[in-house]
Amino acid sequence: MDRSNNDLSLDKVNSVELFEKASNQSFIRESGNSDVDIRIELDTTPIAYAMLCSMLATNQMSHREFQFAVRKLEDLINKKNQIKDGNDMPKPVLFNDNKPRRRF
C-alpha cells in the first residue's frame, strides 16, 4: 500500500496530539492540586421540625409530647452550637503600628 504524504502528516499530527494529551494528563494528575479536602455541612433542623409537626398533625404524638420533643431538639441544637463555638480558633489580634518611629 502506498500512502500519500497527507496520510503520513496526519498520522504524525495525531501521534503528536496523543503524546501531548497524555503528557498533559500526567502533569495535571501529578500537580499536587488533587488532594483537596471538602467539608459540607447541611442544616437538617428544618427537617426535624417538619417531622415533629407531621407527627403531631397525624396524631402520632400528643401536644405534650410534641412540646417536649421540640424543647429537646432545641437543647440539642444549642449544645451543638456551644461545642462548635468552643472549637473555633481564636480571632487574630491586629496590632496597629501607629507609633512614630525614630529616624537615625
Whether the model clears a pTM of 0.75, i.e. scores above it, the answer is no
Q: Tell me: the pLDDT tens digits for 44-99? A: 999 999 999 999 999 999 999 999 999 999 999 888 777 666 555 566 666 666 66
Question: What whole-number distance in Å separates Cα of residue 81 and Cα of residue 74?
Answer: 11
